[in-house]
Amino acid sequence: MSMEITQREHEGVYLLALKGRLALGQESDGLRAMVDKLLTSGATQIVVNLEQVHYVDSAGLGTLIELHRKAKTRGGHFKLCHIGPKLRQALEIARLTPIFETYASEADAVSSFQN
């Protein structure tokens, strides 16, 4: 099953809404390519909405870590919103919670850039 990615921009913040599985293969590769393209074009504020992601494997988690690192290296910010309980638990177990800025909604994530 493939993952759909919807991209839109709001006040300089790029919002990526994911739908499907974030797993090894095309799913992770598609997200990686999209974020790489944004970073190359000069985008520095990226929010990934995981509300409609129903499965994340270790490769998907690794992709999120890699993209966070790439954004930070280029002076950008990579934030997550609408994290489900299973993904939150995986982040906690892997002790990755401190790495990611997470928000309950897109609006909260977008407004965090203005503070």
The pTM of this model reads 0.94
Mean pLDDT of the chain: 94
Q: Which fold has domain 4-112?
A: Transcription Regulator spoIIAA (3.30.750)
* Per-residue model confidence (pLDDT) at position 114: 85
Element (H, E) at 19: strand 13-22
pLDDT one-digit tens code per residue, 39-87:
999 999 999 999 999 999 999 999 999 999 999 999 999 999 999 998 9
What value does the mean pLDDT take over residues 85-106? 93
- pLDDT class for 1, splitting at 50, 70, 90? low
What pLDDT score was predicted for residue 62?
94
Helices (H), 8-105: 26-40, 58-73, 85-93
* Predicted local distance difference test score (pLDDT) of residue 27: 86
